[in-house]
Structure 1
């Protein structure tokens, strides 16, 4: 009996039939589908249809994987595939799409959203009566306004209710305060002090009176018969500023409203502009300006950071490849820079490299020591060359423990017999390192060196936290660019930093260019790794 049960399932538990398993799978997928559909609808209603479509497509793929028998071996990977699509592929594709648009300050909305936004703006025409006002509220939370015109006439109005002139001591009004305003009237109670201040924002969003004679609140003391300032004529595709009397023709190619004199309305909209952003990247004004220098420094920093860190790490690994007492403790201590949180280390290094200035007369330990010994202090934060040296120095501190660790591991995999044969042949220590150790280590560490290069190429934290990309380049003001900015920090300033218009479309185009640059460099480095493998096979 027990044998049959154990044959059915592990530990004697009854086995589930294939039909029941399939039903359970369908029910669980149905629950996931419902939540995904509700999420997609909610996101779509907020206007982000791209993400909503991505969620629906991801859900369809997960369903196919779990329902098609031939794809069942991948069902355990379906959560990872879903995350890969939503966290990696969707942002990449969306960035590519944005790079072909004019999405930026002044062009953050679709045409419909921009018109809805600007339609809320009101103005008080000249010659129209304006009023001083005080608010009232009843027990139901409805508001009313007590209005006083310039001649001292008083009126009461509420949303949807025309102005009703009120005479002092009229029936239904309570006792009057020192300003001649009743404390209660027709079931409404006067709001004063903090209650009035709290209600101000809500009152400014409301429209009192009737549609023929609307009354709006301008500020804390004035109200009046406001009119809609911006009116859009859909047939003519024209936006009219009624206050200034200017008509702006919509240009759907650039996402702007342009007047006959060339002036533009204070709001634009988001449109596809083709390759304009990429043309701007490769225009002479950018390539001959800061972008070319930023690109060259990015390449130099990526290669220099990997080269110096790998050289130091390999040197330390060779020096510590001995069997001394306590050598393990020394190795552990040398890993401390890798274990300390990066931001903390960067701030410590920033303090150590900081020189005296007009703000503070205290120098960091490194400039102070150099000044005491040689009477000279490098300008690590104001001189472009020394700022780059400081970046490479701090990067070396961060990265050498990693390369020391992986180099030590790679050296352990090299058979000692080849060194014995080399010594028999009379090879010197340098010859053994050049012809044996280095080629074999490069074969093992090639992919890791490529990964480190990509990390340095995209490093944002070190460059931004140490010196903010400074010192600033002369003439590069929009956006502000520094001599140690790489392509990532440069793109960030275009998209988010202050100092000019935030141009998300151009920043996305730069990000796409960065993606292809990294892809090409990675491909070239992988080919170099294959050459190292061929060299390793011949060692």
Structure 2
């Protein structure tokens, strides 16, 4: 006798889809809302397209055009592409915030992007000329004022001969400003469309105003106009002359600086002028990480400690969590619920607050641990390389064992009682039951969690940053790293986010190395866990 197949036939499935699509497009209000939202989104994308054109970012323009076509092509037809209407937003955000970030990191790792190499070559040429200027002897003095327009400081100057008024922001070319109201002595009183700063406001922004350099014209060798007081400006000229045809700079002594091909102008003797510009350097950053002794030594030490920290953190938290789970899983124990609540209290507090509290407890001079628990000992918990590592592991044990306790408790309670009863009837003691039955069965669900915990501790940035900030620092190296730094905190420092120099190219190379390390370990670990599934 044949049983009725509960699955829908092709015609029935098509009818269900048609009804869903009809419901989707039936409401006039929903259609109006959809058009309004699409219109607003299209307007934003068009604004982005115009901005990309103005900046010459053609690949961004291409991406915006593709996005415009897809958005309108998917959402305008009311009865088509129903699955895509739900999938498309997630795919867009995944592309921007995950795939896009990864691709940009890979791109930066193959460049010299960092301090002194942050912009394009034309910007670097302009900056070199602006940074190496001297006042032109005997040049005419300009009446001037400092104003604000579109949120930028502007230098407004009056030509003493023609009385023409011109204005520009930093590094921009002076442009004529009409209808300016001058004082009786030729000074600037009011500039239409500009907010002229008072003397008090100029005094508060002296550093910014002194740094203002506006170009006389488009010729980079023509010079700049600068002011130190705000009311008078003078002509300055670069001490370095740029030859566009030869692509070289020449200083007052006749020394020639040429493009090195590595993002900077250098002499034949290797003398360099700053700033440089961003260029591709191939695998140089990866090569520096493994061959430059100044970088390789600290890098290998940090890598070794990162592996040790991740392994010991998982081992200690799992051992303590499993031990407590077994102890409090005993049905004859009274007050189990109270004990279990107490065990998860460290897990209930934010990790960053716990790290800050522990940093105070470990204070060598006034910390509770030294002063009270150790009766006035002076153990340098956070300043000695060995003790700092011990402190980090202890704090991570405090923060991590409640999680292992919870997952171990759940896994223990999932083991059938008849299996354990059979082991007892066969004469197995508690240790044999744990080693031969409980632990193998526990590893089936817990192994993936241990692997993910290893990956988490491999990148446990918050604990290191708040407890020791990676210290104590390595000595005799220019790389910003310390004895308790993990790879991820070292990357943070190399990128310059914690202060110091910025080397985004090298930091991105380190980030990619970390990605492959964690990816390789995770792959091998999950592959190994397949052998445990046979026990289930």
Asked whether the equivalents of residues 306 and 486 of structure 2 are also in contact (C-alpha less than 8 Å), the reply is yes
Matched, 1:343 2:352: yes
Asked whether the equivalents of residues 158 and 165 of structure 2 are also in contact (C-alpha less than 8 Å), the reply is no
Q: How does 1:169-208 map to 2 (within 5 A)?
A: 184-185=184-185, 189=189, 193-194=199-200, 197=203, 204-205=212-213
Q: How does 1:347-362 map to 2 (within 5 A)?
A: 347-356=356-365, 362=366
Asked whether the equivalents of residues 472 and 483 of structure 1 are also in contact (C-alpha less than 8 Å), the reply is yes
Q: How does 1:136-535 map to 2 (within 5 A)?
A: 158-159=164-165, 184-185=184-185, 189=189, 193-194=199-200, 197=203, 204-205=212-213, 216-220=225-229, 223-241=233-251, 245-252=254-261, 254-283=262-291, 285=293, 289-323=297-331, 324-356=333-365, 362=366, 364-372=367-375, 376-476=377-477, 478-497=478-497, 501-534=501-534
Task: Please state how far the C-alpha of 1:228 moved relative to its aligned partner.
Answer: 4.3
Q: List per-residue Cα deviations over 1:347-404 (Å, max 9, x = no partner).
A: 1101111111xxxxx2x111224532xx755321122222111111111111111111
- Alpha-carbon distance between aligned partners in 2 of 1:210 and 1:19, rounded to the nearest angstrom: 59
Matched with 2:113 is 103
- Alpha-carbon distance between aligned partners in 2 of 1:46 and 1:213, rounded to the nearest angstrom: 26
Task: Please state how far the C-alpha of 1:333 moved relative to its aligned partner.
Answer: 2.6
| Higher Cα radius of gyration | 1
Cα distance 1:226–1:114, how it changes in 2: closer, same or farther (>3 A)? same
Asked whether the equivalents of residues 313 and 404 of structure 1 are also in contact (C-alpha less than 8 Å), the reply is yes
Task: Please state how far the C-alpha of 1:501 moved relative to its aligned partner.
Answer: 3.3
Q: List per-residue Cα deviations over 1:100-122 (Å, max 9, x = no partner).
A: 11111111011123224445457
Asked whether the equivalents of residues 491 and 511 of structure 1 are also in contact (C-alpha less than 8 Å), the reply is yes
Task: Please state how far the C-alpha of 1:495 moved relative to its aligned partner.
Answer: 0.8
Task: Please state how far the C-alpha of 1:62 moved relative to its aligned partner.
Answer: 5.9
- 1:88 maps to which of 87, 98, 109: 98
Matched with 2:3 is none
Question: Gaps spanning 5+ residues in structure 2: where?
Answer: 1-14, 148-153, 168-181, 191-196
Q: List per-residue Cα deviations over 1:19-77 (Å, max 9, x = no partner).
A: 99998899565654443343354357557666666565566666676679996434323
Tell me, what secondary structure is at the counterpart of 1:124?
strand
Asked whether the equivalents of residues 290 and 296 of structure 2 are also in contact (C-alpha less than 8 Å), the reply is no
Task: Please state how far the C-alpha of 1:297 moved relative to its aligned partner.
Answer: 0.5
- 1:123 maps to which of 108, 124, 133: 133
- Alpha-carbon distance between aligned partners in 2 of 1:294 and 1:90, rounded to the nearest angstrom: 28
Tell me, what secondary structure is at the counterpart of 1:402?
helix
Cα distance 1:213–1:53, how it changes in 2: closer, same or farther (>3 A)? closer
Cα distance 1:382–1:93, how it changes in 2: closer, same or farther (>3 A)? same
**Larger deviation, residues 259-268 vs 323-332:** 323-332
Q: List per-residue Cα deviations over 1:261-283 (Å, max 9, x = no partner).
A: 32112111111111111111111
Asked whether the equivalents of residues 215 and 223 of structure 1 are also in contact (C-alpha less than 8 Å), the reply is no
- Alpha-carbon distance between aligned partners in 1 of 2:276 and 2:53, rounded to the nearest angstrom: 22
Number of aligned residues: 488
| Length-normalised TM-score, structure 1 | 0.78
- Alpha-carbon distance between aligned partners in 1 of 2:52 and 2:342, rounded to the nearest angstrom: 50
- Alpha-carbon distance between aligned partners in 2 of 1:299 and 1:331, rounded to the nearest angstrom: 31
- Alpha-carbon distance between aligned partners in 2 of 1:301 and 1:71, rounded to the nearest angstrom: 49
Q: List per-residue Cα deviations over 1:455-491 (Å, max 9, x = no partner).
A: 1111111111101111122212x22321111111111
- C-alpha RMSD of the superposition: 4.2
